[in-house]
Structure 1
Amino acid sequence: MYTVDLHSHTRFFHDRRTLGDLFDPFGARILAKLAQRRGLDGLATTNHDYYTPLEPSAEVELLPGIEITTDRGHVLVVGPDPPSETKPGELTPAEAVELAHERDCAAIVAHPFRNSTIRELEDLPFDAIEVNGKHPRSRPLVEELAADRDLPLVGGSDAHYPFEVGRAYTVVEADRLTPESVVDAIRDGRVSARVSHSRLDRLLRRAYRAIHRRKQVIDPITDPTPGVGSPPGERES
Protein backbone atom coordinates (compact mmCIF):
# COMPACT_ATOMS: atom_id res chain seq x y z
CA MET A 1 0.00 0.00 0.00
CA TYR A 2 1.37 3.41 -1.00
CA THR A 3 0.49 7.07 -0.50
CA VAL A 4 0.71 9.23 -3.61
CA ASP A 5 -0.13 12.87 -4.37
CA LEU A 6 -1.64 12.61 -7.86
CA HIS A 7 -1.77 16.35 -8.64
CA SER A 8 1.29 18.60 -8.29
CA HIS A 9 3.12 21.25 -10.27
CA THR A 10 6.87 21.81 -10.50
CA ARG A 11 6.73 25.57 -10.97
CA PHE A 12 5.09 28.60 -9.38
CA PHE A 13 4.12 30.16 -12.73
CA HIS A 14 2.61 29.14 -16.08
CA ASP A 15 4.03 31.65 -18.54
CA ARG A 16 7.58 31.95 -19.89
CA ARG A 17 7.79 28.36 -21.05
CA THR A 18 11.55 28.36 -21.67
CA LEU A 19 12.31 29.66 -18.20
CA GLY A 20 9.89 27.17 -16.73
CA ASP A 21 11.50 24.24 -18.49
CA LEU A 22 14.82 25.21 -16.93
CA PHE A 23 13.21 25.46 -13.49
CA ASP A 24 11.20 22.21 -13.61
CA PRO A 25 13.97 19.78 -12.52
CA PHE A 26 14.74 22.01 -9.53
CA GLY A 27 11.05 22.34 -8.68
CA ALA A 28 10.61 18.58 -8.88
CA ARG A 29 13.49 18.00 -6.45
CA ILE A 30 11.94 20.37 -3.92
CA LEU A 31 8.54 18.72 -4.29
CA ALA A 32 10.09 15.29 -3.79
CA LYS A 33 11.93 16.31 -0.62
CA LEU A 34 8.82 17.82 0.93
CA ALA A 35 6.68 14.88 -0.18
CA GLN A 36 9.09 12.59 1.66
CA ARG A 37 8.85 14.77 4.77
CA ARG A 38 5.08 14.47 4.51
CA GLY A 39 5.44 10.70 4.57
CA LEU A 40 4.37 10.20 0.95
CA ASP A 41 5.73 7.42 -1.22
CA GLY A 42 5.24 9.18 -4.53
CA LEU A 43 3.76 12.06 -6.46
CA ALA A 44 2.62 12.73 -9.99
CA THR A 45 3.92 15.87 -11.70
CA THR A 46 0.94 17.21 -13.64
CA ASN A 47 1.94 20.54 -15.15
CA HIS A 48 -0.58 22.48 -17.19
CA ASP A 49 -0.67 21.19 -20.76
CA TYR A 50 2.81 19.71 -20.94
CA TYR A 51 4.89 16.86 -19.59
CA THR A 52 8.67 16.81 -19.41
CA PRO A 53 10.46 13.61 -18.29
CA LEU A 54 12.32 14.12 -15.02
CA GLU A 55 15.27 12.38 -13.43
CA PRO A 56 14.30 9.75 -10.83
CA SER A 57 14.15 11.00 -7.26
CA ALA A 58 15.92 9.36 -4.34
CA GLU A 59 13.17 10.55 -1.97
CA VAL A 60 9.91 9.45 -3.61
CA GLU A 61 8.65 7.90 -6.83
CA LEU A 62 7.96 10.56 -9.48
CA LEU A 63 5.05 9.54 -11.69
CA PRO A 64 4.51 11.00 -15.18
CA GLY A 65 1.43 13.12 -15.72
CA ILE A 66 -0.15 16.17 -17.30
CA GLU A 67 -3.12 18.40 -16.50
CA ILE A 68 -4.98 18.96 -19.76
CA THR A 69 -7.04 22.12 -20.13
CA THR A 70 -10.08 21.03 -22.14
CA ASP A 71 -12.89 23.25 -23.37
CA ARG A 72 -14.94 22.26 -20.28
CA GLY A 73 -12.32 22.10 -17.53
CA HIS A 74 -9.22 20.21 -16.44
CA VAL A 75 -8.42 16.52 -16.84
CA LEU A 76 -5.52 14.82 -15.07
CA VAL A 77 -3.73 12.22 -17.15
CA VAL A 78 -1.41 9.99 -15.12
CA GLY A 79 0.47 6.94 -16.33
CA PRO A 80 3.52 5.64 -18.17
CA ASP A 81 3.19 7.72 -21.33
CA PRO A 82 1.27 11.01 -20.99
CA PRO A 83 1.22 13.36 -23.99
CA SER A 84 4.17 15.73 -24.07
CA GLU A 85 2.06 18.81 -24.81
CA THR A 86 -1.53 19.86 -25.45
CA LYS A 87 -2.99 23.17 -26.52
CA PRO A 88 -5.14 24.76 -23.79
CA GLY A 89 -8.84 24.61 -24.66
CA GLU A 90 -8.34 22.69 -27.89
CA LEU A 91 -9.44 19.24 -26.75
CA THR A 92 -12.88 18.25 -25.54
CA PRO A 93 -13.10 16.11 -22.39
CA ALA A 94 -13.96 13.12 -24.57
CA GLU A 95 -10.84 13.67 -26.66
CA ALA A 96 -8.69 14.03 -23.53
CA VAL A 97 -10.01 10.74 -22.15
CA GLU A 98 -9.43 9.00 -25.46
CA LEU A 99 -5.89 10.38 -25.63
CA ALA A 100 -5.17 9.19 -22.09
CA HIS A 101 -6.43 5.69 -22.77
CA GLU A 102 -4.55 5.44 -26.05
CA ARG A 103 -1.37 6.07 -24.06
CA ASP A 104 -2.23 3.58 -21.27
CA CYS A 105 -2.88 6.36 -18.76
CA ALA A 106 -5.69 7.03 -16.31
CA ALA A 107 -8.05 9.94 -17.01
CA ILE A 108 -9.21 11.77 -13.87
CA VAL A 109 -11.71 14.60 -13.47
CA ALA A 110 -9.74 17.35 -11.72
CA HIS A 111 -11.46 19.62 -9.15
CA PRO A 112 -14.95 18.99 -10.64
CA PHE A 113 -16.58 21.86 -8.75
CA ARG A 114 -14.02 24.55 -9.54
CA ASN A 115 -13.95 26.19 -12.97
CA SER A 116 -15.26 23.04 -14.62
CA THR A 117 -18.45 21.71 -16.16
CA ILE A 118 -17.02 18.28 -17.00
CA ARG A 119 -19.14 16.84 -14.18
CA GLU A 120 -22.23 17.49 -16.34
CA LEU A 121 -21.02 14.95 -18.94
CA GLU A 122 -22.36 11.60 -17.80
CA ASP A 123 -21.24 9.13 -20.45
CA LEU A 124 -17.49 9.69 -20.65
CA PRO A 125 -15.29 6.76 -19.53
CA PHE A 126 -13.27 8.56 -16.87
CA ASP A 127 -11.30 6.39 -14.49
CA ALA A 128 -11.64 8.46 -11.29
CA ILE A 129 -12.72 11.78 -9.79
CA GLU A 130 -10.43 13.97 -7.70
CA VAL A 131 -10.78 15.29 -4.19
CA ASN A 132 -8.72 18.46 -4.60
CA GLY A 133 -6.51 19.81 -1.83
CA LYS A 134 -7.41 23.43 -2.56
CA HIS A 135 -11.11 22.93 -1.89
CA PRO A 136 -11.59 19.93 0.45
CA ARG A 137 -14.92 21.35 1.65
CA SER A 138 -16.41 20.21 -1.66
CA ARG A 139 -15.69 16.57 -0.78
CA PRO A 140 -19.33 15.63 0.02
CA LEU A 141 -20.32 16.87 -3.44
CA VAL A 142 -17.43 15.03 -5.06
CA GLU A 143 -18.34 11.84 -3.22
CA GLU A 144 -21.93 12.10 -4.44
CA LEU A 145 -20.74 12.69 -8.00
CA ALA A 146 -18.38 9.71 -7.85
CA ALA A 147 -21.13 7.47 -6.48
CA ASP A 148 -23.48 8.54 -9.27
CA ARG A 149 -20.81 7.73 -11.87
CA ASP A 150 -19.61 4.58 -10.06
CA LEU A 151 -16.05 5.90 -10.08
CA PRO A 152 -13.34 5.78 -7.40
CA LEU A 153 -12.05 8.85 -5.60
CA VAL A 154 -8.41 9.91 -5.72
CA GLY A 155 -6.70 12.77 -3.90
CA GLY A 156 -4.30 15.42 -5.12
CA SER A 157 -2.93 18.56 -3.51
CA ASP A 158 -2.87 20.68 -6.69
CA ALA A 159 0.36 22.07 -5.25
CA HIS A 160 1.86 25.03 -7.09
CA TYR A 161 4.17 25.77 -4.16
CA PRO A 162 6.20 22.96 -2.59
CA PHE A 163 4.80 23.42 0.91
CA GLU A 164 1.33 22.59 -0.45
CA VAL A 165 2.25 19.04 -1.45
CA GLY A 166 0.33 16.34 0.40
CA ARG A 167 -2.67 18.48 1.33
CA ALA A 168 -4.68 15.73 -0.34
CA TYR A 169 -3.33 12.42 -1.56
CA THR A 170 -4.28 8.93 -2.69
CA VAL A 171 -3.86 5.61 -0.96
CA VAL A 172 -2.94 3.07 -3.64
CA GLU A 173 -3.26 -0.66 -3.02
CA ALA A 174 -0.47 -2.23 -5.09
CA ASP A 175 2.47 -4.59 -4.67
CA ARG A 176 4.87 -1.98 -6.06
CA LEU A 177 4.71 1.65 -7.03
CA THR A 178 5.03 2.20 -10.77
CA PRO A 179 3.05 4.28 -13.28
CA GLU A 180 1.48 1.07 -14.60
CA SER A 181 0.51 -0.22 -11.15
CA VAL A 182 -1.09 3.13 -10.24
CA VAL A 183 -3.17 3.09 -13.44
CA ASP A 184 -4.26 -0.50 -12.75
CA ALA A 185 -5.18 0.34 -9.15
CA ILE A 186 -7.25 3.34 -10.22
CA ARG A 187 -9.14 1.33 -12.83
CA ASP A 188 -9.73 -1.53 -10.39
CA GLY A 189 -10.95 0.83 -7.66
CA ARG A 190 -8.05 -0.03 -5.36
CA VAL A 191 -7.57 3.62 -4.41
CA SER A 192 -9.02 6.02 -1.87
CA ALA A 193 -8.71 9.76 -1.26
CA ARG A 194 -7.29 11.33 1.87
CA VAL A 195 -7.20 14.96 3.01
CA SER A 196 -4.60 16.17 5.50
CA HIS A 197 -5.99 18.00 8.52
CA SER A 198 -2.68 19.00 10.06
CA ARG A 199 -2.44 22.38 11.73
CA LEU A 200 -0.35 23.69 8.84
CA ASP A 201 -2.96 22.61 6.30
CA ARG A 202 -5.81 24.13 8.29
CA LEU A 203 -3.93 27.43 8.53
CA LEU A 204 -3.15 27.34 4.80
CA ARG A 205 -6.80 26.80 3.89
CA ARG A 206 -7.95 29.71 6.04
CA ALA A 207 -5.25 31.93 4.55
CA TYR A 208 -6.15 30.97 0.99
CA ARG A 209 -9.84 31.59 1.58
CA ALA A 210 -9.02 35.07 2.85
CA ILE A 211 -6.82 35.73 -0.19
CA HIS A 212 -9.50 34.47 -2.56
CA ARG A 213 -12.10 36.70 -0.93
CA ARG A 214 -9.84 39.72 -1.43
CA LYS A 215 -9.32 38.73 -5.05
CA GLN A 216 -13.04 37.99 -5.42
CA VAL A 217 -12.28 34.47 -6.63
CA ILE A 218 -15.35 32.24 -6.78
CA ASP A 219 -15.52 29.66 -4.00
CA PRO A 220 -16.93 26.32 -5.20
CA ILE A 221 -19.04 25.89 -2.08
CA THR A 222 -20.22 29.35 -1.06
CA ASP A 223 -20.90 30.73 -4.55
CA PRO A 224 -23.48 28.77 -6.59
CA THR A 225 -22.51 30.34 -9.93
CA PRO A 226 -23.94 28.15 -12.73
CA GLY A 227 -21.32 25.93 -14.30
CA VAL A 228 -18.69 26.83 -11.71
CA GLY A 229 -19.89 26.71 -8.12
CA SER A 230 -22.19 24.49 -6.13
CA PRO A 231 -24.90 24.87 -3.49
CA PRO A 232 -23.68 26.02 -0.09
CA GLY A 233 -23.89 23.86 2.97
CA GLU A 234 -20.62 22.00 3.39
CA ARG A 235 -18.11 23.19 5.94
CA GLU A 236 -14.48 22.28 6.23
CA SER A 237 -13.58 20.16 9.21
Structure 2
Amino acid sequence: MFAVDLHAHTRFFHGHRRLGDRFDPYGFRLLARAIDVRGLDGVATTNHDYYTPFSSARVTVIPGIEVSTTRGHVLVVGPDPPAETVPGEYTPAEVVELAHDRGCAAIVAHPYRDSTIRELDELPFDAIEINGKHPRTERLVQQLAERHELPLVGGSDAHYPFEAGRAYTRIDAAELTPEAVVEAIRDGRVEPRVATGRSDRALRRLYRTIHARKHPDGLLSDPSPGVGDPPEPDDP
Protein backbone atom coordinates (compact mmCIF):
# COMPACT_ATOMS: atom_id res chain seq x y z
CA MET A 1 0.00 0.00 0.00
CA PHE A 2 1.37 3.39 -1.00
CA ALA A 3 0.38 6.98 -0.16
CA VAL A 4 0.53 9.36 -3.12
CA ASP A 5 -0.57 12.96 -3.60
CA LEU A 6 -2.10 12.77 -7.08
CA HIS A 7 -2.47 16.53 -7.66
CA ALA A 8 0.41 18.92 -6.98
CA HIS A 9 2.20 21.78 -8.73
CA THR A 10 5.82 22.91 -8.83
CA ARG A 11 5.25 26.66 -9.02
CA PHE A 12 3.42 29.23 -6.94
CA PHE A 13 1.90 31.11 -9.87
CA HIS A 14 0.13 30.72 -13.21
CA GLY A 15 1.41 32.10 -16.49
CA HIS A 16 4.88 33.59 -16.98
CA ARG A 17 6.01 30.42 -18.71
CA ARG A 18 9.69 31.28 -19.18
CA LEU A 19 10.11 32.39 -15.59
CA GLY A 20 8.19 29.33 -14.44
CA ASP A 21 10.34 26.93 -16.44
CA ARG A 22 13.42 28.28 -14.70
CA PHE A 23 11.73 28.10 -11.32
CA ASP A 24 10.21 24.61 -11.65
CA PRO A 25 13.30 22.55 -10.69
CA TYR A 26 13.62 24.54 -7.46
CA GLY A 27 9.88 24.33 -6.83
CA PHE A 28 9.95 20.59 -7.38
CA ARG A 29 12.73 20.10 -4.83
CA LEU A 30 10.64 21.98 -2.26
CA LEU A 31 7.57 19.91 -3.19
CA ALA A 32 9.45 16.61 -2.90
CA ARG A 33 10.82 17.60 0.48
CA ALA A 34 7.33 18.52 1.73
CA ILE A 35 5.88 15.21 0.50
CA ASP A 36 8.71 13.35 2.24
CA VAL A 37 8.15 15.24 5.49
CA ARG A 38 4.45 14.36 5.30
CA GLY A 39 5.45 10.71 5.18
CA LEU A 40 3.99 10.05 1.73
CA ASP A 41 5.59 7.71 -0.78
CA GLY A 42 5.04 9.69 -3.95
CA VAL A 43 3.57 12.67 -5.77
CA ALA A 44 2.09 13.30 -9.20
CA THR A 45 3.34 16.56 -10.70
CA THR A 46 0.31 17.98 -12.48
CA ASN A 47 1.16 21.48 -13.66
CA HIS A 48 -1.39 23.43 -15.65
CA ASP A 49 -1.26 22.45 -19.32
CA TYR A 50 2.34 21.27 -19.43
CA TYR A 51 4.42 18.33 -18.23
CA THR A 52 8.07 18.41 -17.19
CA PRO A 53 9.89 15.21 -16.13
CA PHE A 54 11.25 15.27 -12.57
CA SER A 55 13.03 12.73 -10.39
CA SER A 56 13.86 12.60 -6.71
CA ALA A 57 15.75 10.42 -4.29
CA ARG A 58 13.21 11.36 -1.61
CA VAL A 59 9.92 10.28 -3.20
CA THR A 60 8.55 8.52 -6.27
CA VAL A 61 7.40 10.92 -8.97
CA ILE A 62 4.36 10.05 -11.09
CA PRO A 63 4.14 11.99 -14.37
CA GLY A 64 1.04 14.09 -14.90
CA ILE A 65 -0.59 17.21 -16.28
CA GLU A 66 -3.71 19.21 -15.37
CA VAL A 67 -5.50 19.95 -18.62
CA SER A 68 -7.75 23.02 -18.83
CA THR A 69 -10.65 21.72 -20.94
CA THR A 70 -13.68 23.58 -22.27
CA ARG A 71 -15.65 22.50 -19.18
CA GLY A 72 -13.10 22.38 -16.35
CA HIS A 73 -9.88 20.68 -15.33
CA VAL A 74 -8.90 17.06 -15.91
CA LEU A 75 -5.87 15.35 -14.39
CA VAL A 76 -3.98 13.07 -16.77
CA VAL A 77 -1.70 10.82 -14.72
CA GLY A 78 0.45 7.95 -15.93
CA PRO A 79 3.53 6.95 -17.88
CA ASP A 80 3.13 9.25 -20.88
CA PRO A 81 1.12 12.43 -20.35
CA PRO A 82 1.14 15.03 -23.14
CA ALA A 83 4.02 17.49 -22.94
CA GLU A 84 1.77 20.52 -23.40
CA THR A 85 -1.87 21.41 -24.03
CA VAL A 86 -3.55 24.66 -25.02
CA PRO A 87 -6.00 25.89 -22.34
CA GLY A 88 -9.59 25.63 -23.51
CA GLU A 89 -8.75 23.79 -26.73
CA TYR A 90 -9.91 20.29 -25.77
CA THR A 91 -13.27 19.02 -24.64
CA PRO A 92 -13.35 16.65 -21.66
CA ALA A 93 -14.13 13.76 -24.02
CA GLU A 94 -11.06 14.56 -26.11
CA VAL A 95 -8.85 14.66 -23.02
CA VAL A 96 -10.14 11.30 -21.82
CA GLU A 97 -9.35 9.81 -25.21
CA LEU A 98 -5.92 11.44 -25.21
CA ALA A 99 -5.17 10.08 -21.74
CA HIS A 100 -6.21 6.56 -22.61
CA ASP A 101 -4.26 6.58 -25.86
CA ARG A 102 -1.17 7.38 -23.79
CA GLY A 103 -1.80 4.74 -21.14
CA CYS A 104 -2.79 7.31 -18.53
CA ALA A 105 -5.71 7.71 -16.15
CA ALA A 106 -8.17 10.58 -16.67
CA ILE A 107 -9.42 12.08 -13.39
CA VAL A 108 -12.07 14.77 -12.86
CA ALA A 109 -10.34 17.48 -10.79
CA HIS A 110 -12.23 19.52 -8.15
CA PRO A 111 -15.66 18.90 -9.76
CA TYR A 112 -17.37 21.57 -7.64
CA ARG A 113 -14.96 24.42 -8.40
CA ASP A 114 -14.84 26.10 -11.81
CA SER A 115 -16.08 22.95 -13.50
CA THR A 116 -19.19 21.59 -15.17
CA ILE A 117 -17.62 18.31 -16.21
CA ARG A 118 -19.78 16.55 -13.62
CA GLU A 119 -22.81 17.37 -15.78
CA LEU A 120 -21.47 15.30 -18.68
CA ASP A 121 -22.67 11.70 -18.61
CA GLU A 122 -21.26 8.67 -20.36
CA LEU A 123 -17.65 9.86 -20.40
CA PRO A 124 -15.21 7.06 -19.51
CA PHE A 125 -13.31 8.86 -16.77
CA ASP A 126 -11.22 6.66 -14.49
CA ALA A 127 -11.80 8.47 -11.18
CA ILE A 128 -13.07 11.62 -9.48
CA GLU A 129 -10.98 13.71 -7.12
CA ILE A 130 -11.58 14.85 -3.56
CA ASN A 131 -9.60 18.08 -3.62
CA GLY A 132 -7.48 19.14 -0.65
CA LYS A 133 -8.62 22.74 -0.89
CA HIS A 134 -12.31 21.86 -0.62
CA PRO A 135 -12.89 18.75 1.52
CA ARG A 136 -16.24 20.25 2.57
CA THR A 137 -17.52 19.04 -0.80
CA GLU A 138 -16.47 15.48 -0.01
CA ARG A 139 -20.06 14.23 0.45
CA LEU A 140 -21.10 15.74 -2.88
CA VAL A 141 -18.09 14.22 -4.64
CA GLN A 142 -18.87 10.84 -3.09
CA GLN A 143 -22.42 11.04 -4.41
CA LEU A 144 -21.10 11.99 -7.84
CA ALA A 145 -18.69 9.05 -7.84
CA GLU A 146 -21.44 6.66 -6.79
CA ARG A 147 -23.74 7.94 -9.52
CA HIS A 148 -21.09 7.37 -12.16
CA GLU A 149 -19.69 4.23 -10.50
CA LEU A 150 -16.17 5.66 -10.40
CA PRO A 151 -13.38 5.37 -7.80
CA LEU A 152 -12.42 8.31 -5.60
CA VAL A 153 -8.87 9.62 -5.32
CA GLY A 154 -7.35 12.44 -3.29
CA GLY A 155 -4.99 15.24 -4.22
CA SER A 156 -3.82 18.36 -2.41
CA ASP A 157 -3.82 20.72 -5.42
CA ALA A 158 -0.75 22.23 -3.79
CA HIS A 159 0.83 25.29 -5.36
CA TYR A 160 2.95 26.00 -2.29
CA PRO A 161 5.04 23.25 -0.68
CA PHE A 162 3.36 23.55 2.72
CA GLU A 163 0.05 22.61 1.07
CA ALA A 164 1.35 19.26 -0.20
CA GLY A 165 -0.22 16.12 1.21
CA ARG A 166 -3.34 17.78 2.64
CA ALA A 167 -5.22 15.22 0.60
CA TYR A 168 -3.72 12.11 -0.92
CA THR A 169 -4.56 8.65 -2.20
CA ARG A 170 -3.91 5.25 -0.68
CA ILE A 171 -2.96 2.98 -3.56
CA ASP A 172 -3.06 -0.81 -3.29
CA ALA A 173 -0.27 -1.91 -5.62
CA ALA A 174 2.72 -4.24 -5.54
CA GLU A 175 5.03 -1.47 -6.76
CA LEU A 176 4.85 2.27 -7.15
CA THR A 177 5.23 2.87 -10.88
CA PRO A 178 3.13 5.05 -13.23
CA GLU A 179 1.70 1.95 -14.88
CA ALA A 180 0.81 0.37 -11.52
CA VAL A 181 -0.86 3.60 -10.37
CA VAL A 182 -3.02 3.74 -13.51
CA GLU A 183 -4.00 0.08 -13.13
CA ALA A 184 -4.89 0.53 -9.45
CA ILE A 185 -7.05 3.58 -10.23
CA ARG A 186 -8.94 1.77 -12.96
CA ASP A 187 -9.42 -1.30 -10.74
CA GLY A 188 -10.71 0.82 -7.86
CA ARG A 189 -7.82 -0.16 -5.59
CA VAL A 190 -7.56 3.42 -4.34
CA GLU A 191 -8.90 5.36 -1.38
CA PRO A 192 -8.75 9.11 -0.69
CA ARG A 193 -7.45 10.56 2.55
CA VAL A 194 -7.79 14.13 3.87
CA ALA A 195 -5.41 15.49 6.51
CA THR A 196 -7.18 16.83 9.61
CA GLY A 197 -4.41 18.50 11.61
CA ARG A 198 -4.85 21.94 13.14
CA SER A 199 -2.78 23.66 10.45
CA ASP A 200 -4.75 21.81 7.76
CA ARG A 201 -8.03 23.05 9.21
CA ALA A 202 -6.71 26.61 9.42
CA LEU A 203 -5.52 26.49 5.83
CA ARG A 204 -8.89 25.23 4.61
CA ARG A 205 -10.68 28.06 6.44
CA LEU A 206 -8.36 30.51 4.67
CA TYR A 207 -9.19 28.96 1.30
CA ARG A 208 -12.91 29.14 2.07
CA THR A 209 -12.52 32.87 2.69
CA ILE A 210 -10.53 33.38 -0.52
CA HIS A 211 -12.93 31.42 -2.69
CA ALA A 212 -15.98 33.04 -1.06
CA ARG A 213 -14.62 36.38 -2.27
CA LYS A 214 -13.88 34.98 -5.73
CA HIS A 215 -17.30 33.30 -5.92
CA PRO A 216 -19.82 35.46 -4.02
CA ASP A 217 -22.64 33.03 -4.79
CA GLY A 218 -20.93 30.31 -2.77
CA LEU A 219 -17.96 27.97 -2.80
CA LEU A 220 -19.77 25.32 -4.80
CA SER A 221 -20.58 25.96 -8.43
CA ASP A 222 -24.12 24.78 -9.15
CA PRO A 223 -24.41 22.08 -6.47
CA SER A 224 -27.02 19.40 -6.83
CA PRO A 225 -30.55 20.66 -6.09
CA GLY A 226 -31.33 20.51 -2.41
CA VAL A 227 -27.78 19.68 -1.42
CA GLY A 228 -25.93 22.25 0.65
CA ASP A 229 -22.30 22.67 1.59
CA PRO A 230 -21.89 20.24 4.53
CA PRO A 231 -19.77 21.36 7.48
CA GLU A 232 -16.34 19.86 7.90
CA PRO A 233 -16.41 17.22 10.63
CA ASP A 234 -13.04 18.45 11.88
CA ASP A 235 -14.12 22.08 12.28
CA PRO A 236 -14.09 23.13 15.93
TM-score bucket of the superposed structures, by smaller chain? over 0.9
Question: What residue is the counterpart of 1:197 in the other structure?
Answer: 196
- CA shift in 2, pair 1:180/1:212, >3 Å: same
Aligned CA distance change for structure 1 residues 217 and 168 (closer, same or farther; 3 Å): farther
Q: Which runs of 5+ in 1 are unaligned?
A: none
Matches within 5 A, 1:9-158: 9-54=9-54, 56-158=55-157
Q: What SS class does the counterpart of residue 160 from structure 1 fall into?
A: coil
Query: SS of the counterpart of 1:52?
Result: coil
Q: Indicate how the Cα distance of structure 1 residues 232 and 144 shifts in structure 2: closer, same or farther if over 3 A, else same.
A: same
- The 3 A distance-change label for structure 1 pair 77 and 228 is farther
Partner in structure 2 of residue 2 of structure 1: 2
What secondary structure is seen at the aligned counterpart in 1 of 2:170?
Answer: strand
Distance in 2 (CA, whole Å) between partners of 1:207 and 1:190 is 32
Cα deviation 1:118-170 (Å, max 9, x = unaligned): 00111000000000001000000000000111100000000011100011000
Deviation at 1:206, TM superposition (A): 1.4
Q: What TM-score do you get using the length of structure 1 for normalisation? A: 0.94
Q: In the alignment, which residue of structure 2 is the partner of 1:165?
A: 164
Point out 4+ residue stretches in structure 1 off by more than 6 angstroms. 227-230
For structure 2, which runs of at least 5 residues remain unmatched after alignment? Answer: none
SS at match of 1:19: helix
SS at match of 1:81: coil
Residues 218 and 229, structure 1, Cα contact 8 Å, conserved in 2? no
Would the alpha carbon gap of residues 219 and 10 (structure 1) be closer, same or farther in structure 2, given more than 3 Å must change? farther
Question: Any conservation in 1 of the 2:208–2:219 contact (CA below 8 Å)?
Answer: no
* CA-atom RMSD in angstroms: 1.7
Q: CA deviation at 1:53?
A: 1.1
User: Partners of 2:18 and 2:219 in 1: how far apart?
Assistant: 33
| Alignment partners' CA distance in 2, 1:155 and 1:65 | 14
Aligned in 2, Cα 1:42/1:120: closer, same or farther, shift over 3 Å? same
CA distance in 1, matches of 2:26, 2:3: 23
Between the aligned partners of 2:150 and 2:211, the Cα distance in structure 1 is: 30
Find 1:235's aligned residue among 227, 231, 234. Answer: 231
Identical pairs, percent: 65
TM-score (norm 2): 0.94
